[in-house]
């Protein structure tokens, strides 16, 4: 199959590279000439483990190309995927669909033979129908069908998620479009990957419902963690006890400073707005958004409490600022709320993160950056763990404590056992453990 992928952001680039590894001929197109130049040179503009090697292999095999020329990318394409950004729109919290609609209108006059136009971007219910309407308005005689194919990629594990997904969701309106999409995903049939064939509207809703449910699980266990602290229970034991129930499952039951990233904040906001538009309020989702936003601010109070409510003049070493490990993504990361608040309270903040500095230097003015945890912790009054990178999981606690002038560790990811931290001389604070 020949595939054109519009957009070389996270979703578009990962999807395009992985489709080419399936054996398809893929052309990724983007308006950003600097990004295309970097990709043509083999430089991946995002951090995703294994993506650079996979990209290089398929470029060398002749299955993967990059261009700024949409007409060139569309030539002979069996399917064109729209994988552009849908950020939160200012003012109302809805998804900004201007990039999606712009791509649809730009590709419409370039359709020369039957093509399936696939929306890969995360879009609210009804968007695919509007994409189809706009294509027909621009090119009334264009032979095409529309399809919705939402992504379910976890940053840091995207290649594995694409190659061995829990399921593939495809919303189509014709058997002809279904046949094209089935051929594109045929390599996964050999692994008996579940395929959910449905309507575009249901596919759109599946994506939002999945992310909202996961965000709800995170928020639920965070509130349980708060109650555990006051009641003398251990949230990790509680999470294990409920997670063994097959109806609940253990994933996303890890308490912390709140969810962030490129998906959950904007998708819960968009779903809540969609509910309001259809006069069907998403009250649980609206509460999840409110509680999660408050939790990030609450973590600042937790740090202050650990330092006896005296932040001014304190030197705090922060381990990790990306919203999760194995990514350089800082969109809506808890650090973007917590770190500026600490600085605003008069604290000096020293940061280390394996991949966060590239984005973090612009997003976190006023911090100093350090190569590793030991350098960041030198002469610090407190150590704050915000992101559970693997390299922070087995630190020499005695060495850390020995280099600090204070004794406080605030572990917002429950990386360490309390007894181990205390044995190393720390005054230790974690989440959901008495």
274 annotated binding-site participant? no
255 annotated binding-site participant? yes
For residue 246, give the DSSP letter.
T
Could you give the strand order of the β-sheet that contains 64-67, starting from the edge strand earlier in sequence? 64-67, 25-29, 2-6, 79-82, 115-119, 144-148, 168-172, 195-198
122 annotated binding-site participant? yes
319 annotated binding-site participant? no
Structure token pair of residue 296:
């990030």
Residues 6+ apart with CB under 8 A from 195: 167, 168, 170, 182, 185, 188, 189
Token pair 């890969």 in the structure block, residue: 120
Active site residue 263: yes
201 annotated binding-site participant? no
64 annotated binding-site participant? no
DSSP of 54-83 = HHHHHHHTT-EEEES-HHHHHTT-SEEEE-
From the centroid of its chain, how far is CA 229? 29
298 annotated binding-site participant? no
324 annotated binding-site participant? yes
Structure token pair of residue 127:
């968007």
254 annotated binding-site participant? yes
Structure token pair of residue 209:
């419902």
Structure token pair of residue 160:
């594995």
153 annotated binding-site participant? yes
Tell me the Cα Rg of the chain. Answer: 23
- The phi-psi region of residue 137 (left if phi > 0; otherwise alpha if psi is between -120 and 50; otherwise beta) is alpha
Q: At 1, which helix (H) or strand (E)?
A: none
Rounded to whole angstroms, how far apart are CA atoms 271 and 289?
11
Q: Which of 18, 28, 228, 263 is catalytic?
A: 263
155 annotated binding-site participant? yes
Rounded to whole angstroms, how far apart are CA atoms 95 and 280?
18
C-alpha distances in angstroms, 401 versus 85, 377, 423? 44, 8, 11
Annotated binding site for substrate: 152-155, 207, 252-256, 260, 324
Q: Which residues are catalytic?
A: 263
The binding site consists of: 30, 35, 86, 122, 152-155, 207, 252-256, 260, 266, 324, 331
């Amino acid at each position: 199959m020949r595939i054109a992928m519009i957009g070389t952001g996270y979703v578009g680039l990962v999807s395009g590279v992985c489709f080419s590894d399936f054996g398809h001929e893929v052309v990724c197109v983007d308006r950003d000439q600097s990004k295309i130049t970097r990709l043509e040179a083999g430089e991946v503009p995002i951090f995703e483990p294994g993506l650079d090697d996979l990209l290089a292999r398929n470029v060398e095999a002749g299955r993967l190309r990059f261009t700024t020329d949409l007409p060139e990318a569309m030539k002979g394409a069996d399917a064109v995927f729209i994988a552009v950004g849908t950020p939160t729109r200012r003012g109302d919290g809805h998804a900004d669909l201007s990039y999606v609609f712009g791509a649809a209108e730009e590709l419409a006059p370039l359709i020369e033979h039957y093509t399936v136009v696939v929306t890969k971007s995360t879009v609210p219910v009804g968007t695919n129908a509007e994409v189809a309407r706009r294509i027909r308005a621009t090119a009334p005689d264009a032979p095409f069908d529309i399809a919705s194919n939402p992504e379910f990629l976890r940053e840091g594990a995207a290649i594995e998620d694409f190659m061995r997904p829990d399921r593939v969701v495809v919303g189509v309106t014709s058997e002809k479009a279904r046949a094209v999409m089935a051929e594109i995903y045929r390599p996964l049939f050999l692994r008996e990957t579940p395929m959910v064939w449905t309507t575009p509207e249901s596919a759109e809703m599946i994506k939002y419902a999945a992310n909202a449910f996961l965000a709800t699980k995170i928020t639920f266990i965070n509130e349980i963690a708060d109650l555990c602290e006051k009641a003398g229970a251990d949230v990790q034991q509680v999470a294990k006890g409920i997670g063994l129930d097959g109806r609940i499952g253990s994933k996303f039951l890890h308490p912390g400073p709140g969810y962030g990233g490129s998906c959950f904040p904007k998708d819960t906001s968009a779903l809540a707005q969609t509910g309001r538009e259809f006069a069907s309020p998403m009250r649980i989702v609206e509460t999840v958004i409110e509680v999660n936003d408050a939790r990030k601010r609450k973590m600042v109070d937790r740090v202050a409490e650990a330092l006896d409510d005296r932040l001014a003049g304190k030197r705090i070493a922060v381990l990790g600022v990306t919203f999760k490990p194995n990514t350089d993504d800082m969109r809506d990361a808890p650090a973007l709320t917590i770190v500026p608040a600490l600085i605003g309270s008069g604290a000096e903040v020293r940061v280390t993160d394996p991949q966060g500095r590239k984005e973090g230097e612009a997003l976190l003015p006023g911090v100093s950056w350090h190569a590793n945890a030991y350098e960041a912790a030198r002469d610090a009054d407190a150590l704050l763990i915000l992101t559970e990178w693997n390299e922070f999981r087995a630190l020499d606690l005695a060495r850390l404590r020995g280099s600090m002038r204070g004794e406080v560790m605030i572990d917002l990811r429950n990386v360490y056992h309390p007894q181990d931290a205390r044995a190393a001389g720390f005054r230790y604070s974690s989440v959901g453990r008495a």
